[in-house]
Amino acid sequence: MIGKKITVEYYDHNVNFERLLPRSGYIVSEISFEDYGKGWYLIKLDKPFDYKQSSDYRNKNSKPDDFKETHYTHFMIKSRWKGVGIGANEPISVFVLLVPDSSVLKNDNVLGKDFLHVCWGMVNPIEDKNA
């Protein structure tokens, strides 16, 4: 899986994020979260982007002044379908999490709740013309 190129397209859950998809990138590592389990993949995006979010994105009552624009270079994804892993030759539904700082993934106890679940997506494999 590492090195495989994929495209993440919008599927559901956050229409405000839809305009930022699709995004392509490469799977750079597999991650296990202490709270969300294993099977998560870190995607290095071909084209990073800026996205405005609350500094405390877990707070549902954030005020407009709480929002700031953050630069993202990575997604974290995991299959939403039990028993179906990423890497299938057909599209697959995934959770899409934003990674504000990929260096946090080097810590021992990485928690999924520390990332922003921004939407559900569909992952489509891409044939890598450079392979």
Residues 119 and 93: their CA atoms lie apart, in Å, by: 11
pLDDT in tens, 54-80: 554 444 555 555 567 889 999 999 999
How many separate domains does the chain show?
1
Residue 8's pLDDT band (boundaries 50, 70, 90)?
very high
pLDDT of residue 120: 96
Residue range of the domain that includes 52: 5-125
Average pLDDT rounded to a whole number, residues 28-54: 90
Whether residue 130 is contained in a domain is answered as no
pLDDT of residue 63: 55
pLDDT of residue 129: 59
Whether residue 23 is contained in a domain is answered as yes
Q: Which residue has the higher pLDDT, 70 or 46?
A: 46
Give the least confident one: 10-19, 33-42, 120-129: 120-129
**Contact between 118 and 14 (Cβ < 8 Å):** yes
Residues 103 and 7: their CA atoms lie apart, in Å, by: 23
pLDDT of residue 87: 73
